[in-house]
Amino acid sequence: MHPAPSIILFTVLSGLGFGLLFWLGLGFPPVTGFSAFAFFTIAYLLAIGGLISSTFHLGNPQRALKAFTQWQTSWLSREAWLSVFALTFMGLYAIGAVFFATRIAPLGWIGSALALATVYATSMIYGQLKTVPRWNHPTTPALFLLLSVSGGALLAGQVTYAIGLLALSGVLQAVVWYLGDQRFAERGTTMETATGLGNIGQVTAFEPPHTGTNYLLKEMVHVVGRKHSRKLRIISLALMVVLPVLLLLLPFSHALAAVAVLSHLAGVLASRWLFFAEAEHVVGLYYGIR
């Protein structure tokens, strides 16, 4: 799949933002007043910045509100609703914490749950697609959620939780890559099933329908850059998990924590880039490409 920068930024930033909101809602750290204002501002900038960047890839963003209508079947629509609910509940909770120095705990809990639900809905936009076997698996939402919660813990300064969760994300990420590499073959969609010509013999693409490229190839048969994917996986794991954990294990300082956050962010961006670039859509089979 084409790794569109707007979608990569959206999923990573809003994942981090909702992850931070999750911790703030639970009272980790139990901030009020000015420090609460600082924390909530960062969380909202990330979450909303992500949502706004997601509209950049729309063909007709002026109609974006229509995306709220089909929540009964569409994960994209559910995500729209859940993000609004999460931001509203957390907003009320934040007002209490910032201006009245009171944390209304139940509001925070609901907000935290909604923040996670939003990340889940985002991940299911991809996880639901049977056409992309690498994504179509429960580990897709699991990794999105875990990365969001780990990144949130890092931003919320929850060092102990962050170390454990980051380590866990590292393991899950490795499992996701390992299983993902095999899933296309496991699902059994081949050029033979795509064309129905398998009982005659082995099918090869002789001539594509068009001499140039087209929307399908640009959007769904993105094969550029995959050759470096092994190296990128290592870089991504190192930045996303190993370096932040090492930095957190050192005696705490704000500078080191800031480096840990930036390193984690860069690592998740690399991982999300791979998430798209390595994903193979079955339509490629019609072109003899995966």
Alpha helices in 128-138 (DSSP H): none
Q: Of 30, 61, 99, 185, which lies in the binding site for another protein, with binding defined by CB under 8 A?
A: 61
- Using CA atoms, how far residue 210 sits from 215, 281, 287, 288, in Å, is 11, 19, 10, 14
- Could you tell me the smallest distance in angstroms from the CB atom of residue 196 to another protein? 4
The distance of closest approach from Cβ of residue 138 to another protein in the complex, given in angstroms and rounded to an integer, is 18
282 binds another protein (CB under 8 A): yes
CB neighbour class for 66 (10 Å; exposed up to 12, middle 13-18, buried from 19) = exposed
Q: Which C-beta is closer to another protein: that of 60 or that of 160?
A: 60
Binding of another protein by 117 (CB under 8 A): no
Which residues, other chains included, contact 48 with Cβ-Cβ below 8 Å and sequence gap of 6+? 14, 17, 87
CA distance 15 to 204: 41
- The nearest distance, CB 6 to another protein, in angstroms, is 11
The yes or no reply on residue 120 touching another protein (CB under 8 A) is no
Tell me which of 106, 138, 188, 251 binds another protein, using CB under 8 A: 188
**Minimum Å distance from CB 178 to another protein?**
23
Number of residues that bind another protein (CB under 8 A): 60
Q: Is 200 in the site for another protein (CB under 8 A)?
A: yes
User: For residue 289, what is the DSSP state?
Assistant: -
Q: How far apart are CA 39 and CA 90, in angstroms?
A: 12
Binding residues vs another protein (CB under 8 A): 1, 57-61, 63-64, 66-70, 72-77, 80, 125, 128-132, 187-189, 191, 193-197, 199-216, 219-220, 281-283, 286-287
